[in-house]
């Protein structure tokens, strides 16, 4: 009898000894080798499901998937929303051994002050790129998009996304993102309506394509897309405007009612190891939020101008406004596109 | 429902033609056979539409979803403008009417364009020798084996300023600078026309094929001119095909958003993209999206009912 139990334990060991981990992540956002490495190091069995937007993640968790997953990877504003909706667990002091590896600039972020629920995963920026064959002047201002020079008028693509357009517009005017001030909102709306006359198209999926093909001579774009456009041969330069630009960051969050909480914390620690954080960056081509990754990073990624904002230039996260304020911004956006 | 009326009529005809027992047997067989059809209509048409109507009267939940409280807020938002801050005297809201009007005239124009090209095309095919008609119809349908999205993106590549169309015209010396079609309403029209042309050609073809060409000859013998024959004889005879074609083109054009987004540059909302926006973003407004869909559907139904009544009057004449 004893021998039989030992045998059963032996058979069961690889799969069940250390339990499992349920990860809910964006599609194509983590290399399989990294998951294999974690499984080999810890014996924990990782199961991953994927989603394709922050809104899809929120909807799935609200519709009853909470309690089935341990970790998810929401974007900045969605961390705030999920925390507000009570979907996140709190990481207690000292629970993460590698917390000290987090780059200090990403420690006290507005969407999760003090990093109580999340750790950084990847980050990037959203501004614009300009075709240097068409326009050789100074591009370090958001005026390129919102009050464009003669050469660029009628040849500008902007992202078909309310958050990015209204936030960059607010940064350009130097007004807060979630304001209820009538004069400021009116100024924002008027400025956008005037700028729209110079825009050829609204498109997010096509943002890179129109720059490569020459349909657009300037375009609002994510830094990773701009780097790809350059790699595809377009003579485009990504700008970090002096008024500021949008930064986004995806974060690993500990979900409420996580079935394997201890394993989830182990995986967070694993992702905070510089070598592992670098592996994600080399795969996703954005930037890690962890210190000490340099020796492990692909130089093509670290040296890309799109990943190196000039010293002193400021990035802003898109803020999640409250319902009453959001209504005003929805109205401005609808009015812009009516 | 049209389907529900049929078996009753057929069953009613039973006793007149045969014995009562036969009619009962017939009914016993017909009802179970109709259940799948009813289930499909109920599950895939009535239920979704009913859900949409119900949702349009529910209260919006911030960041997507609804709470089950009755309200007219969605319709109020559509029709009533109280200013950005909601403290101005109510007046008619033009924002959404403008968006709907844009979609309606785009769809109407595309329908006319399809009719202008589709009618002669259908006539041409229907008057070929019987053997070659199949080949022509086959050629019409070939592009539709490819997904609409891919065809629309391809059209974008062709029309863009440094695409093959402009490069060919520039090389031939026809034009000296690119036409600048991309991101205009003209490009949207071309996209809609190209996407929905067969829906015009096929019903008209079916009508022309049944047309008795001896009627035209008789009219010519009676000294009717070409235009008179077309206007007085041909068009009335194939009118059902033309009407069917127009409806088949107009209705999908009304809700189209691929062509406006990809070819028109998405600078302005169309009905389709307006509704899409209400369900997509984190700020989504489901009841308002549902209300827009209900208003759109009501308009389409009104057109179809008006057409059906006109057809009835035509048949009664």
Q: Where are the beta strands (DSSP E) in A41-155?
A: 45-51, 71-72, 118-131
Which two structure tokens, joined as six digits, stand for B7?
A: 């078996």
Using DSSP's 3-state secondary structure scheme, residue A122 falls into strand
Element of type H or E holding B55: helix B47-56
Angle, CA B109 vertex, CA B105 and CA B111 arms, to 5°: 115
Q: Classify A176 in phi/psi space as left (phi over 0), alpha (psi -120 to 50) or beta.
A: beta
Do B63 and A162 lie within an 8 Å CB cutoff? no
Which residues in chain A have their CB less than 8 angstroms from residue B65's CB? 59, 62
The helix, strand and coil proportions of chain B, stated in percent and rounded to the nearest 5, come to 75, 5, 20
Do A214 and B284 lie within an 8 Å CB cutoff? no
- Please give the C-alpha separations between residue B74 and each of A11, B89, B295, in angstroms, as whole numbers: 60, 18, 11
The yes-or-no answer to whether A2-121+249-307 and A124-246+309-337 have a common fold is yes
Q: Which of B239, B209, B253 is nearest to B311 (CA)?
A: B239
Which residues in chain B have their CB less than 8 angstroms from residue A58's CB? 63-64, 282
Note every long-range contact of A172-181, with CB atoms under 8 Å and residues 24 or more positions apart, other chains counting: A172/A142, A172/A143, A172/A145, A172/A146, A172/A241, A172/A243, A174/A243, A177/A316, A177/A318, A177/A319, A177/A321, A178/A319, A178/A321, A178/A322, A178/A325, A178/A326, A178/A329, A179/A325, A180/A324, A180/A325, A180/A328
Which residues in chain A have their CB less than 8 angstroms from residue B261's CB? 160, 203
- DSSP class per residue in A157-189: EE-S-HHHHHHHHHHHHT--TT---HHHHHHHH
Q: Classify A43 in phi/psi space as left (phi over 0), alpha (psi -120 to 50) or beta.
A: left
CB of A214 within 8 Å of a chain B CB? The answer is yes
Do B85 and A54 lie within an 8 Å CB cutoff? no
Which two structure tokens, joined as six digits, stand for A23?
A: 């990860």
pLDDT (tens digit, 9 = 90+) per residue, B40-75?
999 999 999 999 999 999 998 887 778 899 999 999
Residue B83: the pLDDT is 83
Q: Which of A134, A144, A154, A124 is nearest to A236 (CA)?
A: A134
Closest in A323, A326, A331 to B84, CB measured: A331
Closest in A160, A185, A338 to B95, CB measured: A338
- Please give the C-alpha separations between residue A289 and each of A17, A255, B67, B187, in angstroms, as whole numbers: 32, 20, 39, 44
What is the set of domains in chain B, with CATH numbers?
2-91 (no CATH), 95-284 (1.10.3720.10)
Closest in A54, A160, A202 to B282, CB measured: A54
**Share above pLDDT 90 across residues of chain B, in percent, rounded to a whole number:** 50
Q: Where are the beta strands (DSSP E) in chain B?
A: 58-60, 66-70, 80-81, 91-92
Sign of CA dihedral B251, B257, B262, B265: positive
ipTM above 0.90, yes or no: no
Residue of A nearest to B265 (CA): A201
Write the DSSP symbol of residue A147: S
Q: Strand A20-26 relative to strand A45-51: parallel, antiparallel, unpaired?
A: parallel
Q: Are B152 and B263 in contact (CB under 8 A)?
A: yes
Q: How crowded is the C-beta side of A140, counted as CA atoms within 13 Å?
A: 7
CB of A201 within 8 Å of a chain B CB? The answer is yes
- Would you say domain A2-121+249-307 falls under CATH 3.10.110.10? no
Do B268 and A335 lie within an 8 Å CB cutoff? no
Q: How far is B133 from chain A (nearest CA, A)?
A: 41
Closest in A54, A213, A332 to B160, CB measured: A213
Using DSSP's 3-state secondary structure scheme, residue A204 falls into coil
Q: How crowded is the C-beta side of A220, counted as CA atoms within 13 Å?
A: 29
CB of B63 within 8 Å of a chain A CB? The answer is yes
Q: Using CB atoms and an 8 Å cut-off, which of residues 197-236 of chain B contact chain A?
A: none
pLDDT tens over chain B, length 317 residues: 333 434 434 444 444 444 555 666 677 788 888 889 999 999 999 999 999 999 999 998 887 778 899 999 999 999 999 888 888 899 999 999 999 999 999 999 999 999 999 999 999 999 999 889 999 999 998 888 889 999 999 999 999 888 899 889 999 988 888 888 889 889 999 999 999 999 999 999 999 999 998 999 999 999 988 999 999 999 999 999 999 999 999 989 998 888 888 898 888 889 988 998 888 766 678 999 999 999 999 988 888 888 888 777 766 54
Residue B65: the pLDDT is 78
Closest in A59, A81, A203 to B266, CB measured: A203
Residue B281: the pLDDT is 62
- DSSP class per residue in B237-293: HHHHHHHHHHHHHHHHHHH--HHHHHTTTT-S--HHHHHHHHHHSTT--HHHHHHHH
Which residues in chain B have their CB less than 8 angstroms from residue A330's CB? 283, 285
Q: How far is A179 from chain B (nearest CA, A)?
A: 13
Q: How far is A219 from chain B (nearest CA, A)?
A: 13
CB of A60 within 8 Å of a chain B CB? The answer is no
Query: What is A124-246+309-337's CATH topology?
Result: D-Maltodextrin-Binding Protein; domain 2 (3.40.190)
Write the DSSP symbol of residue B89: P
Do A330 and B161 lie within an 8 Å CB cutoff? no
Residue B15: the pLDDT is 41
Burial class (CB in 10 A: 0-12, 13-18, 19+), B234: buried
Domain spans in chain A, listed from the N-terminal domain onward: 2-121+249-307, 124-246+309-337
Burial B132-155 (b: 16+ CB within 10 A, else e): eeeebbeebeeeeeeeeeebbbeb
- Please give the C-alpha separations between residue A115 and each of A87, A88, A112, A246, B302, in angstroms, as whole numbers: 15, 12, 5, 20, 56
Q: Are A119 and A96 in contact (CB under 8 A)?
A: yes
Do A200 and B183 lie within an 8 Å CB cutoff? yes
Which residues in chain A have their CB less than 8 angstroms from residue B284's CB? 55
Name residue A158's beta-bridge partners: A202
Which two structure tokens, joined as six digits, stand for B301?
A: 């139904």
Query: What gap in Å lies between CA A291 and CA B166, rounded to an integer?
Result: 51
Count other Cβ atoms within 10 Å, centred on residue B190: 19
Do A200 and B265 lie within an 8 Å CB cutoff? yes
Which two structure tokens, joined as six digits, stand for B264?
A: 């028109």
Q: Using CB atoms and an 8 Å cut-off, which of residues 89-118 of chain A contact chain B?
A: none
Residue of A nearest to B182 (CA): A215
CB of A323 within 8 Å of a chain B CB? The answer is yes
Element of type H or E holding B31: helix B20-41
CB of A235 within 8 Å of a chain B CB? The answer is no
Sign of CA dihedral A4, A5, A7, A12: positive
Do B267 and A196 lie within an 8 Å CB cutoff? yes
CB of A212 within 8 Å of a chain B CB? The answer is no
Which residues in chain B have their CB less than 8 angstroms from residue A328's CB? 84-85
Do A334 and B269 lie within an 8 Å CB cutoff? yes
Size of interface A-B (CB pairs under 8 A): 73
Q: Using CB atoms and an 8 Å cut-off, which of residues 154-193 of chain B contact chain A?
A: 160-162, 182-183
Mutation for testing the B interface, residue in A330, A332, A333 having most B CBs under 10 Å: A330
Mutation for testing the B interface, residue in A53, A154, A190, A203 having most B CBs under 10 Å: A203
pLDDT tens over chain A, length 338 residues: 455 544 444 444 444 447 999 999 998 899 999 999 999 999 999 999 998 788 788 888 987 899 999 999 999 999 999 999 899 999 999 999 999 999 998 999 999 999 999 999 999 999 999 999 999 999 999 999 999 999 999 999 999 888 899 999 999 999 999 999 999 999 999 999 999 999 999 988 888 989 998 889 999 999 988 998 998 999 999 999 999 999 999 999 999 999 999 999 999 999 999 999 999 999 988 899 999 999 999 998 888 899 888 888 889 999 988 888 988 998 999 999 88
Q: How far is A289 from chain B (nearest CA, A)?
A: 25
- Please give the C-alpha separations between residue A309 and each of A247, A277, A316, B44, B160, in angstroms, as whole numbers: 11, 20, 13, 52, 33
Name residue B58's beta-bridge partners: B70
- Compute the mean pLDDT over every residue in chain B, rounded to the nearest whole number: 86
């Amino acid at each position: 009898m004893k021998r039989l139990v030992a045998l059963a334990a032996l058979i069961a060991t690889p799969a069940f000894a250390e339990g499992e981990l349920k990860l809910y992540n964006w599609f194509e956002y983590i290399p399989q080798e990294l998951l294999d490495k974690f499984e080999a190091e810890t014996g924990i069995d990782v199961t991953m499901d994927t989603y394709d937007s922050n809104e899809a993640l929120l909807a799935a968790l609200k519709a009853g998937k909470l309690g089935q997953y341990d970790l998810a990877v929401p974007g900045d504003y969605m961390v705030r929303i999920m925390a507000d909706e009570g979907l996140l667990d709190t990481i207690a002091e000292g629970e993460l051994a590698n917390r000290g590896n987090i780059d200090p600039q990403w420690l006290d972020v507005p969407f999760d002050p003090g990093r109580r629920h999340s750790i950084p995963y990847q980050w990037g920026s959203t501004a614009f790129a300009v075709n240097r064959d068409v326009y050789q002047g100074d591009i370090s201002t958001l005026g390129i998009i919102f009050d464009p020079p003669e050469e660029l008028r009628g040849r500008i693509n902007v992202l078909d996304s309310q958050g990015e357009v209204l936030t960059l517009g607010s940064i350009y005017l130097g007004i807060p993102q979630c304001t209820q001030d009538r004069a400021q909102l009116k100024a924002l709306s008027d400025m956008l309506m005037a700028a729209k006359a110079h825009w050829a198209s609204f498109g997010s999926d096509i943002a890179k394509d129109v720059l490569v093909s020459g349909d657009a001579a300037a375009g609002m774009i994510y830094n990773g897309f701009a780097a790809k456009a350059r790699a595809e041969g377009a003579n485009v330069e990504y700008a970090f405007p002096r008024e500021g630009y949008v930064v986004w960051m995806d974060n690993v969050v500990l979900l409420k009612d996580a079935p394997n909480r201890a394993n989830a914390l182990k995986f967070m620690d694993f992702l905070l190891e510089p070598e592992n954080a670098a592996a994600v960056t080399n795969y996703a081509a954005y930037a890690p939020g962890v210190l000490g990754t340099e020796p492990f990073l692909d130089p093509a990624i670290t040296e890309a101008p799109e990943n190196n904002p000039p010293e002193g230039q400021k990035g802003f996260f898109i803020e999640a406004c409250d319902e009453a304020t959001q209504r005003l911004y929805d109205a401005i956006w609808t009015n812009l596109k009516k | 429902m049209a389907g529900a009326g049929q078996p009753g009529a057929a069953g009613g005809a039973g006793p007149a033609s045969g014995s009562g027992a036969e009619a009962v047997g017939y009914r016993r067989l017909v009802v179970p056979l109709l259940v799948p059809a009813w289930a499909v209509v109920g599950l895939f048409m009535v239920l979704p539409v009913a859900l949409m109507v119900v949702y349009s009267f529910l209260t919006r939940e911030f960041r997507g979803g609804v709470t089950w409280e009755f309200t007219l807020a969605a319709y109020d938002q559509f029709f009533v403008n109280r200013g950005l801050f909601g403290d101005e005297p109510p007046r008619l809201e033009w924002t959404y009417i403008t968006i709907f009007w844009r979609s309606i005239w785009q769809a109407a124009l595309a329908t006319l364009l399809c009719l202008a090209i589709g009618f002669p095309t259908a006539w041409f095919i229907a008057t070929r020798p019987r053997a070659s008609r199949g080949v022509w119809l086959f050629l019409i349908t070939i592009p539709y084996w490819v997904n609409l999205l891919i065809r629309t993106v391809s059209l974008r590549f062709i029309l863009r300023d440094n695409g093959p169309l402009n490069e060919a015209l520039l090389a031939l010396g026809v034009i000296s600078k690119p036409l600048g079609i991309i991101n205009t309403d003209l490009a949207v029209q071309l996209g809609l026309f190209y996407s929905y042309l067969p829906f015009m050609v096929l019903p008209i073809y079916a009508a022309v094929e049944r047309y008795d060409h001896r009627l035209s000859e008789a009219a010519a013998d009676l000294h009717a001119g070409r235009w008179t024959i077309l206007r007085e004889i041909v068009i009335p005879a194939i009118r059902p095909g033309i009407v069917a074609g127009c409806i088949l083109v107009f209705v999908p054009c009304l809700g189209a958003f691929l062509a406006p987004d990809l070819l028109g540059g998405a600078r302005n909302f169309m009905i389709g993209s307006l509704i899409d926006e209400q369900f997509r973003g984190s700020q989504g407004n489901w009841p308002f999206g549902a209300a827009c869909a209900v208003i759109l559907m009501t308009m389409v139904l009104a057109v179809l009912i008006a057409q059906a009544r006109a057809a009835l009057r035509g048949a009664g004449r």
